[in-house]
Amino acid sequence: MLATAVPPTNDRGSDFPQLNNRSTLALTGATGFVGATLLTHLTGAGWRVRALYRPRKGRVLPTIPGVEWLSGDLEDEDALVALIAGTHAVIHCAGAVRGASHDDFDQVNVEGTRRVASAAAREARAPRFLLISSLAAREPQLSHYAESKWRGEGIIKTASENMRWTVLRPSAVFGPGDRELLPLFRCIASGFAPLPAGTNGRFSLIYVDDLAAAVVRWLATDAGHGQTFELHDGQAGGYDWGTVLEIGGRVLRGGGPVRRVPIPVSVLKLAALANSAAARLLGYAPMLTPGKIRELTHPDWVCDNSEFSRITGWQPAFGLEQGLTCISGKNLKK
Ligand SMILES: NC(=O)c1ccc[n+]([C@@H]2O[C@H](COP(=O)([O-])OP(=O)(O)OC[C@H]3O[C@@H](n4cnc5c(N)ncnc54)[C@H](OP(=O)(O)O)[C@@H]3O)[C@@H](O)[C@H]2O)c1
């Protein structure tokens, strides 16, 4: 059973964090799926946010009261110093989630994290530091992505003695704007779900607004320093694909059937190899890679929220059913 969402409160019981002259946050990755939702929740909770963005032709940044956009990327040390100067906390959410090679992930998730951490450590009064890692970091041997997230965590943990860091490891995140799970939900809505054959693993999920709410709670409670937390939607024991298809059919097909289309893992591996080769040739960042197949077929991606909830009071508000209800319709068609 899911608990009701707890609104952000600070120690004095206010609905907003205590704002003072250090009430500005530095946020990386604000133009991405998770970061954009974070931005909305952080400003909604009363924080001012200085957000890093990479200038790109045609890019239109949302105008949000309380948000100051700063141009730069994770390779630009001056931009990172300017981003972090005088902030109360750094929320480092930028990350490479697609890539063909070790280097594609390493440059962003390891070296980029190293630069953000060192810019934070240069501050006379080091800001609190939150790394949005991934549950994948629990199994670094599976993929370049998983290894890079694990190594990124290592950098934060050894960055500086006076840095008060926390690592969050969200399970698979879904919600409007997600590009990883949304294709599967679209297939479910059409009545067919291509999935790896013969796999019966269990996994946790988290709705993107719940992840953002967890960050707001972390800020409000000033707890969890030096700790790593896994986050999921409150479904103890996680899901298997059968349950996902059953809930998906109920929400996205009005109770209509969803047929599982088993794809042999050998076929998926071949497709992943071909996709990786094409990506290297054509210069795009692939999602389907041999590492992604190993992640997909890993039997245990179940996690446990209890410690984070205990120390911050955060409780997830959206299970898969509620989350799918939110993304059904317009969001699913985009
Ligand atoms: N989605 C999930 O299921 C999930 C699960 C667990 C953990 N996470 C973690 O959550 C974080 C965000 O993931 P996401 O799903 O939101 O990915 P996303 O949509 O691809 O967003 C990635 C963000 O990082 C920025 N970024 C990437 N490389 C950068 C660089 N070199 N310099 C500056 N910014 C850079 C991107 O900027 P541009 O817009 O300019 O590309 C974008 O804002 C990642 O750290 C990921 O590991 C995600």
Q: Tens digits of per-residue pLDDT, 189-212?
A: 999 999 999 888 999 999 999 999
CA 126 to CA 114: how far, in whole Å?
A: 15
DSSP letter (8 states) at residue 107: I
Is 29 close to ligand 1, i.e. is its CB under 6 Å away? Answer: yes
Is 132 close to ligand 1, i.e. is its CB under 6 Å away? Answer: yes
- pLDDT attached to residue 161: 75
Question: In 3D, which of 47, 190, 65, 55 has the Cα closest to residue 128?
Answer: 47
For 171, phi then psi, to 5°, come to -75, -170
- pLDDT attached to residue 199: 82
Using alpha carbons, list the distances in angstroms from residue 236 to 139, 214, 306: 20, 18, 10
Is 137 close to ligand 1, i.e. is its CB under 6 Å away? Answer: no
156 burial type by CB count under 10 A (0-12 exposed, 13-18 middle, 19+ buried):
buried
pLDDT digits (tens, 9 = 90+) for 272-310: 999 999 998 898 888 889 999 999 999 999 999 999 999
242 burial type by CB count under 10 A (0-12 exposed, 13-18 middle, 19+ buried):
exposed
159 pLDDT more than 90: no
pTM of the model: 0.92
CA 83 to CA 51: how far, in whole Å?
A: 7
- pLDDT attached to residue 10: 37
| Local structure of 72: helix, strand or coil | coil
Contacts of 38 (CB under 8 A, 6+ apart): 27, 29, 30, 91, 93, 211, 212, 215
Is 176 close to ligand 1, i.e. is its CB under 6 Å away? Answer: no
Residue nearest to ligand 1 atom 45, measured at CA: 95
pLDDT digits (tens, 9 = 90+) for 44-77: 999 999 999 999 999 999 999 999 999 999 999 9
Contact (CB, 8 A) for 224 and 322:
no
Furthest C-alpha separation in the chain: 59
317 pLDDT more than 80: yes
Is 168 close to ligand 1, i.e. is its CB under 6 Å away? Answer: no
CA 101 to CA 35: how far, in whole Å?
A: 24
Superfamily holding 24-177+205-234+303-318: NAD(P)-binding Rossmann-like Domain (3.40.50.720)
Instruction: Please report how the helices 144-158 and 290-297 are oriented relative to each other, as an axis angle in degrees rounded to 10.
Output: 80
Ligand 1 atom with the smallest distance to the CA of 98 is 20
- pLDDT attached to residue 202: 97
Residue nearest to ligand 1 atom 31, measured at CA: 74
Ligand 1 mean position, distance from CA 96 (Å): 6
250 pLDDT more than 80: yes
Out of 27, 28, 33, give the residue to mutate to test ligand 1, the one with the largest number of ligand atoms within 8 Å of its CB. 33
Question: What DSSP string describes 75-86?
Answer: T-HHHHHHHHTT
Retrieve residue 29's tokens.
Answer: 């990755």
Is 77 close to ligand 1, i.e. is its CB under 6 Å away? Answer: no
Retrieve residue 184's tokens.
Answer: 């599967």
Using alpha carbons, list the distances in angstroms from residue 252 to 125, 245, 318, 322: 49, 10, 16, 11
Domain ranges of the chain: 24-177+205-234+303-318
- pLDDT attached to residue 100: 87
